[in-house]
Structures are given as C-alpha cells and as structure tokens.
Structure 1
Amino acid sequence: MRKKYTDEFKAQIVLEIFKEEKSVTQLASEHGIHPTQLTRWKNEAIQNLPSLFTDDRKGVQALKKTYESKIDELYAEVGRLTTQNTWLKKKSGLRVDEK
C-alpha cells in the first residue's frame, strides 16, 4: 500500500531541506521517507517556484469573458426557441396561454 502525503507535509519537508540544517538522509530517516523521494519533492519545488509569481488574472479574465459570452448565446437561443414555440402553437391551433 502506497503512502500518501499531504501537500502541506511535503512543503514542510522541502523547507527543511532548503534550510540545510540536516542532510536529506537525516530527514529521510526521521520521517521514514526514502531520500530519493525527498530529492524529487525538492526538484519539483524548484521547478514550480517561478509559477508562484506569475500573474494568473489574465487567464481568469479570459475564462470569465468566454463564460459570459456563452451565457449570452444561450439566452439568445432560449429566446429564439421560445418565439418559435409560441409561433408553432399559434399556427397549429393549439391554445397558447397568455400571461
């Protein structure tokens, strides 16, 4: 059975590695984790560090615009279908309830 570690735990261990107060081997034996795994976590943290400082608001704004345009299209489609439905009911002789 594989052990699963939380992101907080991994971050804590990587911070301890960066402090360099103890070696990776010492930390591995203290926490019962293989040193290779700790090295992988450290490398992953180093690789993903630049993404912490990127401005992600542009991506969120683009998603918001896409979402809003899709909503507008759907409302327009509902309006067209409602109009067509009412017209078809009138032409077929079915009773249309006026509100």
Structure 2
Amino acid sequence: MSTKKNYRKHTAAFKTRVVLEALKERETLSELGHRYQLHPTQIATWKKEFLSGAEHVFGDGPVVDAKAHEKERAELHQQIGELTVTVNWLKKKLL
C-alpha cells in the first residue's frame, strides 16, 4: 500500500509575504517557519527564487512596437467589419 504525500499549495501572495518577512531579517528562518508552519529550507528556497528574479523588475521588459500594434489593430477592425457584414447577411437570409 503506497501512501501519497499531500503537498500544500501556496499562493504567490502568501509566498511573497513570507519572503518579504524573511528579507527584513527581524526573525530567523526557523521563527518564520514556525509562525507560517513552513520548513525553514522552504522559505530559503522561495527567498532565492525571489531574489534571482528581482533583476527583471527593473529591466527593460518587452519592447512595445507601436507600428505593429497599430497594424494588428487595423487588421482586427477589418475582420470585425467583415464579420458584421456576414452576420447581417445571414440574419436577412434566415428571416
């Protein structure tokens, strides 16, 4: 008989709150673990993940190409127009 371990799923908001508390260093990881019912190693792992992704917060991010967006918008408006004509035509045929 195999026993399957049930792992708890934590929300991103919860993980962020725990990591921010850990970064303040007012309490040890053991104390935080006791308070949040987590293993200190788990908190340390989340902290490392958080810090490794921190550089992306202030990065350039994706470059917004205004011309490409405008072209896509125009194409979508054209499709909307064509679909509207088709719907109206079908409505007339059914009546």
Matching residue of 1:80: none
Matching residue of 2:32: 27
Give structure 1 regions of 4+ aligned residues with deviation exceeding 4 angstroms: 64-73
Amino acid at match of 1:34: H
Choose the corresponding residue for 1:48, options 46, 53, 61: 53
Larger Rg: 1
Q: Distance in 2 between matches of 1:37 and 1:55?
A: 30
The TM-score normalised by the length of structure 1 is 0.59
Give yes or no for the alignment of 1:2 onto 2:11: no
Aligned sequence identity (%): 31
Cα RMSD between the aligned structures?
Answer: 2.7
SS of structure 2 residue aligned to 1:11: helix
The TM-score normalised by the length of structure 2 is 0.61
Residue 72 (structure 1) shift: 7.8
Aligned 1:34-73 pairs, distance under 5 A: 34-56=39-61, 58-59=62-63, 61-62=64-65
Q: Distance in 2 between matches of 1:71 and 1:19?
A: 46
State how many pairs are aligned: 76
Question: Cα gap change, 1:18/1:71 in structure 2, threshold over 3 Å: closer, same or farther?
Answer: closer
